[in-house]
Amino acid sequence: WRALGLPYVAAMAQLGGDLYVKKAVLEYHGSAAFDDVLQVALKCQRIGTSSITFVGAVFRGDQTLVTGEIIYVFADPRTQQSQPVPDALRQLLTAFEGGQPAVAITLGAWTTLDKQASRVRTAVFVQEQGIPAELEWDLSDLTALHAVATNGLGQVVGTARLVRQATGLARIGRMAVTRELRGAGLGQQLLRVLEAAAAARGDTEVMLHAQQSAQGFYLRMGYTTRGPTFEEVGIPHIEMTKCLAMS
């Protein structure tokens, strides 16, 4: 569900049902040992009227160790009665298996994307991290280029903004991804889209104030630290930069 860009609980609530396991089968063909590197593959094989069948396998290199099948039934959580798989979920799964991106990123002005971006920023920064609401919004929102990530159900699952800090220098900030989908690559997608937008308008460097807990993420994305750590809205931060000309 993370690969589909779906926060499971919120997605099922929007779809008006939930998935219940009808059948689960595993067949073992070999054994793994400690420290083996394994790959797990999962595929939506069939969508029936009210059921969804997934097949999966565990590999060690080219060797198949485990194969399996799981059948879900979509049902009303209150009555436990099966109901048709919603068209939205059917289309989403079909598109994903067809290789289409699970999440779309839209770029635009605050006047266009304020409601979508605000929803995620409020959930992450104000409600989750306890940042005062009056410190979350500033005048830079009005001139920034905003990025909003939306999943196949139209749910906003991530956002970030790009501000022109100085001639040739861009600043990325307000990077937020819904808690359920962190670590699924959305942050990377948002960052790359805004870096590309900065480079396209002629910026040669991008900087940001990273929360210290996210420093490792930005290092992996090619950023380097500059200066000592400092506090911003009561949270330890570090300034980080990246040369776009070398990216």
Alpha carbon 108 to chain centroid, angstroms: 19
What domains does the chain contain, in order, with CATH numbers? 17-85 (3.10.129.10), 103-246 (3.40.630.30)
pLDDT tens track for 203-233: 999 999 999 999 999 999 999 999 999 998 8
Q: Which residue has the tokens 């930005």?
A: 218
Asked if residues 181 and 157 have their Cβ atoms less than 8 Å apart, the reply is yes
Whole-model pTM?
A: 0.88
How far apart are alpha carbons 120 and 64 in whole angstroms? 41
Q: Indicate whether 118 pLDDT > 80.
A: yes
How far apart are alpha carbons 238 and 214 in whole angstroms? 10
Asked if residues 187 and 211 have their Cβ atoms less than 8 Å apart, the reply is no
Q: Indicate whether 247 pLDDT > 70.
A: no
- H-run or E-run covering 217: helix 215-220
Q: Residue 68's closest CA among 59, 60, 58, 77?
A: 58
Residue 4 — very low, low, confident or very high, per pLDDT cuts 50/70/90? very high
Query: How confident is the model at residue 246, as a pLDDT?
Result: 52
pLDDT over 70 percentage in the chain: 99
What is the average per-residue pLDDT within 65-90?
97
